Homo-oligomer: A and B are copies of this chain.
Amino acid sequence: MLKTNAFDAAASENVSQSAREMIERRRRLLGPAYQLFYKNPVHLVRGEGVWVFDAAGKKYLDVYNNVPSVGHCHPYVLEALIRQASTLNTHTRYLHDNVLNFAEKLVSTMPPELSQVMFTCTGSEANDLALRIAEDFTGGTGVIITEFSYHGMTKAIAGLSASMGPYVKVNGDARVIPAPVHNPANPAAVGKKFAADVRAALADMRRHGIKPAALMIDTFFTSDGGFFDPAGFLKEAIDEIHKAGALYIADEVQPGYGRSGEHMWGFQRHGVLPDIVSLGKPMGNGHPMAGITIKPHILERFGNESSYFNTFGGNTVSSAVGLAVLEVIEQEALIPSVGRAGKAILDGISELSTRFPAIGSVRGAGLFVSVDFTTAEGEPDSATALAVVNALRDEGVLIGASGPHANILKIRPPLVFTAEHSQILVESLEKVLSKMF
């Protein structure tokens, strides 16, 4: 997954001298793990709303970044950041209103059962904490994940991120199941198949004497390629997990915060209730913050016994920023707007798919839309997807590709993307495809 659309010096195109110098400094100072996007990497210097600008003044529509969730440099969020950072920045072992006001606002967006919050700094830390609690509560060690899952970077969670490739080993007690399929011809089969795969994984754990701890899934299976329909298809699998005495951990780092355009949380699309919800990227509009919400009885023993403390998590500044982001989502009525913008993308690209056979399935929920590129034989066509990604970059649209075959256009802009921006995206894609085909 993570090498998709990575810059490769051997296959670079049109890279300026100043960019080459920066790339050389990166190689020297940051080492080989640091990768750049695009054949011709972008040197960004400014952002505003859904727009970013490079050093030469070129303007790009940002269709990639979900972290600046309410838009680059949102003034209301900035004001909250500046006000609190100028006043006091301390951890949660002193009393302060901010962490309480933020926590209260956050749980008010959740089903009432998920009434407690713990704050971390990254989605990786959130999933790592969720895992520790699930293992503590269940006494189990077996976690079910999907075959191209991504849940984070800590040692424990990298071992539950099957998309990391063969070099990063999956935890021995984990079981990897296929991602759900997109099956508009027979939608009822999607949930049945997924539940059957969960059942088989549980049976295999039993066979190996592994006690199940959790099903950890990204509600929209974003790293697997994005699978959304039919709404409700997760229910049967979640019931299986609960019957086995294990927990359902909803990784909402990508599907949460109103991205579906219907609900605040992706799991609400499926009418299911997680035991632990992990949160991350969009939470601070770029400020490093993340966390979990949880049912109190599941947290109780771990919380009392394990002395968990996160130095920066929930500090006065992060809490002010996190509250401001939630207020913007409400004040600007972003969820219905996301729904409209997402529908405009789905409709527009579905129309393009009737004219460009390279486009296979187009599917989505709100402002997460997946567009498969396939060959005439129906095989995944990574080359076309990557050519489209790089052509859109030159056209002034930042976008990425994903999925196990890197053939899926991943459309995941800031939530302030409107139907008007969707129109620009569809027109740019049409222009690029018209040149290619």
A residues lining the B interface (CB < 8 Å)? 1-3, 19, 22-23, 25-26, 28-37, 41-47, 52, 65, 67-68, 72-73, 78, 81-82, 85-97, 99-100, 103-104, 107, 115-118, 120-125, 128-129, 131-132, 153-156, 158, 164-165, 167-168, 280-281, 285-289, 294, 296, 299-300, 302-315, 317-318
Contacts and interface: CB of A to CB of B under 8 A. Distances in A.
A280 B311 contact: yes
A117 B30 contact: yes
A88 B47 contact: yes
Contacts of A3: 307
Given A33-B308, A132-B158, A67 B91 contact: yes
A72 to B, nearest CB: 7
Nearest to A298: B31
A155 B153 contact: no
Contacts of A90: 44, 47, 52, 65, 67-68, 286
A104 B33 CA distance: 17
A155 B168 contact: no
A73 B89 contact: yes
A47 B379 CA distance: 60
Given A26-B100, A41-B95, A121 B288 contact: yes
A118 B25 contact: no
A125 B153 contact: yes
A181 B264 CA distance: 55
A35 B93 CA distance: 6
